[in-house]
């Protein structure tokens, strides 16, 4: 497996406000799922706006290796599917690169196909635990062989006569929920997943879009999802909206740099993904959604944002599933806000690309900000102009790298990162887009 050379960068407070009208790349979560469901459907699916980042391209390569035909047609992608249960054994190891989403969702698909396969990933992904999907998927009849700690490489012997799964998630996780639902597609009977808190529901939306029978009901504070197995999924075109997790970076930069005024067009506004926008508004952010519309079953709108003097916030743990990927850049906003912020219930961050909770705290400390971790809470003592001047170790984590570069737009002294090479896994062209807006990002 090739290792990319490290690419250090430095970010400085720009001499002029950030300004412009932009679009961010397609939603990563929806892009992964569009390729997977298209490969499991009968007929040809056209995907418009697919994120062409490294993570999603790994999913495309994996689905090709499993027998689907996937081609690029101008700016769109075409997927000719194999139907439920119709995937074929791969001839080689499936390398999922840096993508935990791709690896965990694909484990669900492979668990109920009667052949053996092996998944691996880059150094970062091989450190991440897979036990949270392995345990429930075993109930389908699949057999898993992993390294110590349930880590990749992972061998999967799919079930011959797959059983439906009934499972209550111990911790809210859209990835685990989706893996179980994907396994349930090729099992007779009803697969049931109960989640303690509602998590992003792109899988449920897309299953319905492709013709599966999915029933979602309230279950206490969470939801129960029931899927009828072995449907005939029908090819269905997908329009991928802009990724709200990617929009978060220019959005927060616009809030922090004096005089800035930005428009981010065509952003996905799924109500289970908009926790960051709600939180920033609580901090006083000048943030407005215009031209709200529905595209391919998903809410979409244009975000207008202006520089704002932010105030501290106390974020409840229950909001975490709706903004789990946005905490590093929210932490940057809190570091530049007046007062002490507390971000609660962040245990899920410990099993991301890095221990994202510890790494986020280290990033802020490198910028001269006082930070504490109490249990699973992050406490940030904000300053309207943090000192900066530090070097951030990114731990091969694309969101941490982008957050640090946003942080550098607001600190007195530049912020440096050790490696930006992994940013393209989720946001190809990020640095060029930020420079176009007026951000000062350069090679140190």
Give the chain's domains with CATH numbers.
9-26+241-442 (3.65.10.10), 28-236 (3.65.10.10)
Q: Does 223 count as an annotated binding residue?
A: no
How many angstroms separate the CA atoms of 364 and 4, rounded? 26
- pLDDT of the residue at 3: 56
Please report the DSSP string for 347-361 in residue order.
GGGGGSSS-HHHHHH
Report whether 386 contacts 404 (CB < 8 A). no
- pLDDT of the residue at 352: 75
**If we measure between CA atoms, which residue out of 14, 18, 6 comes closest to residue 249?**
18
How many angstroms separate the CA atoms of 250 and 256, rounded? 10
- pLDDT of the residue at 129: 87
Q: Does 124 count as an annotated binding residue?
A: no
Q: At what angle do helices 398-407 and 356-366 cross, to 10 degrees?
A: 20
Query: Which neighbouring-strand residues pair with 317?
Result: none
Residue 325 a catalytic site member: yes
Burial class from Cβ neighbours inside 10 Å (0-12, 13-18, 19+) for residue 384 reads exposed
Q: Which two structure tokens, joined as six digits, stand for 128?
A: 């991440």
Q: Does 29 count as an annotated binding residue?
A: yes
Q: Which two structure tokens, joined as six digits, stand for 161?
A: 């006569």
Report whether 202 contacts 33 (CB < 8 A). yes
Asked if residue 443 has a cis previous peptide bond (ω within 30° of 0), the answer is no
Q: Does 128 count as an annotated binding residue?
A: yes
User: What is the chain's pLDDT, residue by residue, as a tens digit (444 residues)?
Assistant: 445 689 999 999 999 999 999 999 999 999 999 999 999 999 999 999 999 999 999 999 999 999 999 999 999 999 999 999 999 999 999 999 999 999 999 999 999 999 999 999 999 899 998 999 999 999 999 999 999 999 999 999 999 999 999 999 999 999 999 999 999 999 999 999 999 999 999 999 999 999 999 999 999 999 999 999 999 999 999 999 999 999 999 999 999 999 999 999 999 999 999 999 999 999 999 999 999 998 877 899 999 999 999 999 999 999 999 999 999 999 999 999 999 999 999 998 987 767 999 999 999 999 999 999 999 999 999 999 999 999 999 998 999 999 999 999 999 999 999 999 999 888 999 999 999 999 999 999
Burial class from Cβ neighbours inside 10 Å (0-12, 13-18, 19+) for residue 206 reads buried
Q: Does 342 count as an annotated binding residue?
A: no
The angle formed by the CA atoms of residues 51, 56 and 57, to the nearest 5 degrees, is 105
How many angstroms separate the CA atoms of 385 and 95, rounded? 43
Catalytic residue among 325, 397, 419, 424: 325
How many angstroms separate the CA atoms of 16 and 396, rounded? 31
Distance of alpha carbon 93 from the chain centroid: 24
Report whether 419 contacts 391 (CB < 8 A). no
Q: How long a stretch of residues is the chain?
A: 444
Q: Which two structure tokens, joined as six digits, stand for 223?
A: 């939801």
Cite the beta strand spans of 81-148 per DSSP E.
Answer: 94-95, 116-120, 143-147
- pLDDT of the residue at 423: 94
Cα–Cα distance list, 328 to 30, 55, 119, 177, 189 (Å): 21, 19, 28, 24, 41
Beginning with the edge strand found earlier in the chain, give each strand of the sheet holding 261-268 in spatial order. Answer: 19-23, 261-268, 298-306, 286-295
Q: Does 322 count as an annotated binding residue?
A: no
- pLDDT of the residue at 425: 85
Report whether 63 contacts 71 (CB < 8 A). no
How many angstroms separate the CA atoms of 439 and 253, rounded? 9
Buried b (16+ CB within 10 A) or exposed e, 322-353: bbbbbbbbbbbbbbbbeeebbbbbbebbebbb
Q: Does 4 count as an annotated binding residue?
A: no
Report whether 405 contacts 11 (CB < 8 A). yes
Report whether 130 contacts 107 (CB < 8 A). yes
Indicate the pTM of the whole model: 0.90
Q: Does 126 count as an annotated binding residue?
A: no
Q: Does 28 count as an annotated binding residue?
A: yes
């Amino acid at each position: 497996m090739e290792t990319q050379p490290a690419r250090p960068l430095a970010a400085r407070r720009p001499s002029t406000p950030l300004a412009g009208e932009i679009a961010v790349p397609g939603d990563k979560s929806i892009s992964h799922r569009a390729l997977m469901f298209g490969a499991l459907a009968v007929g040809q699916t056209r995907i418009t706006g697919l994120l062409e980042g490294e993570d999603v391209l790994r999913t495309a390569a994996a689905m090709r290796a499993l027998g689907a035909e996937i081609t690029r047609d101008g700016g769109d992608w075409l997927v000719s599917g194999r139907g439920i249960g119709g995937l074929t054994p791969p001839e080689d190891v499936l390398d999922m690169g840096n993508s935990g989403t791709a690896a965990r969702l694909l484990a669900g698909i492979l668990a109920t196909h009667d052949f053996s396969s092996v998944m691996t990933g880059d150094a970062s992904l091989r450190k991440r635990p897979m036990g949270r999907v392995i345990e429930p998927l075993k109930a389908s009849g699949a057999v898993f062989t992993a390294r110590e700690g349930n880590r990749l490489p992972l061998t999967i012997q799919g079930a011959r006569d797959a059983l439906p799964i009934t499972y209550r998630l111990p911790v809210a996780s859209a990835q685990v929920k989706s893996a179980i639902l994907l396994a349930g597609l090729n099992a007779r009977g009803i697969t049931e997943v109960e989640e303690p808190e509602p998590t992003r529901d792109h899988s449920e939306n897309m299953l319905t879009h492709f013709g599966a029978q999915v029933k979602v009901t309230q279950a206490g504070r969470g939801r129960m999802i029931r899927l009828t197995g072995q449907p005939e999924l029908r090819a269905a075109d997908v329009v991928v909206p802009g990724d709200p997790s990617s929009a978060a970076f220019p959005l927060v930069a616009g809030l922090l740099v004096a005089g800035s005024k930005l428009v981010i067009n065509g952003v996905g506004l799924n109500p289970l993904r908009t926790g960051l926008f709600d939180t920033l508004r609580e901090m006083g952010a000048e943030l407005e959604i215009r031209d709200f519309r529905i595209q391919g079953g998903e809410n979409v709108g244009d975000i207008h944002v202006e520089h704002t003097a932010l105030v501290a916030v106390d974020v409840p743990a229950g909001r975490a599933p709706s903004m789990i990927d946005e905490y590093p850049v929210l932490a940057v906003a809190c570091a530049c806000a007046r007062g002490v912020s507390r971000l609660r219930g962040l245990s899920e961050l410990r099993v991301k690309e890095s221990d994202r909770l510890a790494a986020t705290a280290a990033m802020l400390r490198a910028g001269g900000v006082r930070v504490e971790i109490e249990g699973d809470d992050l406490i940030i003592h904000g300053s309207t102009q943090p000192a900066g001047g530090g070097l951030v170790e990114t731990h091969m984590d694309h969101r941490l790298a982008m957050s640090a570069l946003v942080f550098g737009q607001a600190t007195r002294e530049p912020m440096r990162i050790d490696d930006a090479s992994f940013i393209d896994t989720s946001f190809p062209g990020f640095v060029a887009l930020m420079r176009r807006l007026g951000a000062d990002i350069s090679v140190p």
